[in-house]
Amino acid sequence: MKKITNEEKALETFKNYLKRNDILNKTKIALNNFIKETNINLSYLTRNCLKDDNNIFICKYKELSKIKKFLNTNKDFKTLQEEYSSLSSEKKKNPTGKFKAYEEIKIFFENLYNNFSDCKNPYEIMTDLNVRACPYCNLNYIDAVIKEDDRSGQKEKISNDNKVLREHFDHYLPKSKYPFFALSFYNLIPCCYECNSALKKNKMTPVHPFEDNFDELAVFEIEFAKEMEHYNFSNVKNININIINKHKKAYFHKNLFELETRYKYRKDYACELLAKKEIYNDDMIDEITRRLLGKNYSKDFIEAVIWGSCLNPDLINERPLSKLTKDIINGQNNPRLNYQRNL
C-alpha cells in the first residue's frame, strides 16, 4: 500500500546470496547453451543484463520492463515460446532440439528460485525489508519465522523441520510467462497468501510495490447509511467502506485484489474507529499525549495507543489496516455533522 523504499539492506543480503552461490556465472553458461542450441539472438541479454554491478537479478523494475519488451518483441524467441506451449503433453514429456533447450532454460531459472526458497535468505530478506503487512492489501501480517539456530547458524539451507512459517513472494511478472525473472529481486514481492495464491495468481496489477504508492492512488472513505436517526456505531450495517480511486491504476489494483469486498469484513474495526473519533476530542488527545510524552514515547507510538495504528503514511507497511485507520481518522466524513445537517 505504501511504496517500498527502504530495500538497501535486503538488496545487499540478496547480492551476497547471488555471489556465494555463483548465480551470475551459472546463468551466463546456461544462457550461452540456450543460444547455441536455438540460434536465437539474445545478445541484448548477454551484453547488458549479466554484468557484475547490474544484472537481471538486481536491476530495477524499469530495466526488467525493458528486458520483457525485448523478449516480447524478439520474433524467434516469441515463436519458440508459442510453439512450445502448443506442444502436446506427450511431446512435452520428451522434448527435442530447440524445445529441449527452451525447457532446460526454463527449468534452470525455476530451480534458481526453488533453491533460493529453501534457504534462509528469503526469511532474511523479508526481515530486512521490514514490510510486515502485505503491500498489496494491507489486511494481513506477513511474517518470516525460522528457529533461532537457523537464523544465526552458518548453514544456508534450512531443514523443513526448522521452517516455522514464511509468507509468499509473489512474482510480479508471473514466472510461468517470464521464467527469466524467477529470481529477480524487484520481481519478488513479499505478500500474503490470499493476495498471491487466491487472487493474483498469474495476473498482473499496474501497481508495483517498489514503484508505485497505492496510498497516493486511492483513499478509503466511509459512507453512512441514509437512516441517520438509527445511526449506531455498533451496527456495521450503518456503514460502507469505499475505496475512492485517485488514479486509474487504483481501479485495476482494487478489483484484482477484491479490496472493497475484503474490507467489508473489517467494518467492525472501522465502526470502532469512528466511535473513537467521536470520543477523543482534541483536549483528550492532548491529555493522553501529555501523559505519555513524559515517558519518552514517540508520536507514532502514542497514535498507535490511541487509534490502534499510527497515522504516519511512511509506516503503512508495518501494520495491517494502517491505511484504513489513517484515512478514517484524517477523513472529513464525520457522521454526527452529517446527522445534524440532516435535521
For residues 328 and 42, give the distance between their C-alpha atoms in angstroms, rounded to a whole number: 51
Least separation in angstroms between residue 176's CB and Zn ion is 20
Between residues 77 and 136, which has the closer beta carbon with respect to Zn ion? Answer: 136
Between residues 198 and 293, which has the closer beta carbon with respect to Zn ion? Answer: 198
Contact 114, 183 (CB under 8 A): no
133 contacts: CB under 8 Å, gap ≥ 6: 1, 139, 140, 141, 142, 316, 317, 318, 319, 320, 322
Report phi then psi at 157, rounded to 5: -80, 140
For residues 323 and 316, give the distance between their C-alpha atoms in angstroms, rounded to a whole number: 6
Look at the block and give the residue holding cell 525447457.
103
Strand, coil or helix: 262: helix
Closest CA to 166 of 120, 207, 227: 120
Between residues 143 and 149, which has the closer beta carbon with respect to Zn ion? Answer: 143
Least separation in angstroms between residue 155's CB and Zn ion is 31
- Concatenating the DSSP letter of every residue in 286-319 gives HHHHHHHHTTT--HHHHHHHHHSS---GGGGGGS
- Which grid cell is 327? 484515512
Between residues 58 and 195, which has the closer beta carbon with respect to Zn ion? Answer: 195
Between residues 55 and 196, which has the closer beta carbon with respect to Zn ion? Answer: 196
Contact 138, 325 (CB under 8 A): no
Least separation in angstroms between residue 320's CB and Zn ion is 9
Least separation in angstroms between residue 258's CB and Zn ion is 10
Between residues 31 and 134, which has the closer beta carbon with respect to Zn ion? Answer: 134
Least separation in angstroms between residue 254's CB and Zn ion is 12
Least separation in angstroms between residue 183's CB and Zn ion is 22
For residues 144 and 166, give the distance between their C-alpha atoms in angstroms, rounded to a whole number: 4
The residues binding Zn ion (CB under 5 A) are 134, 136-137, 192, 195
Between residues 233 and 257, which has the closer beta carbon with respect to Zn ion? Answer: 257
Least separation in angstroms between residue 143's CB and Zn ion is 13
For residues 226 and 310, give the distance between their C-alpha atoms in angstroms, rounded to a whole number: 31
Least separation in angstroms between residue 165's CB and Zn ion is 15
Between residues 199 and 302, which has the closer beta carbon with respect to Zn ion? Answer: 199
- Concatenating the DSSP letter of every residue in 5-27 gives ---HHHHHHHHHHHHHTTHHHHH
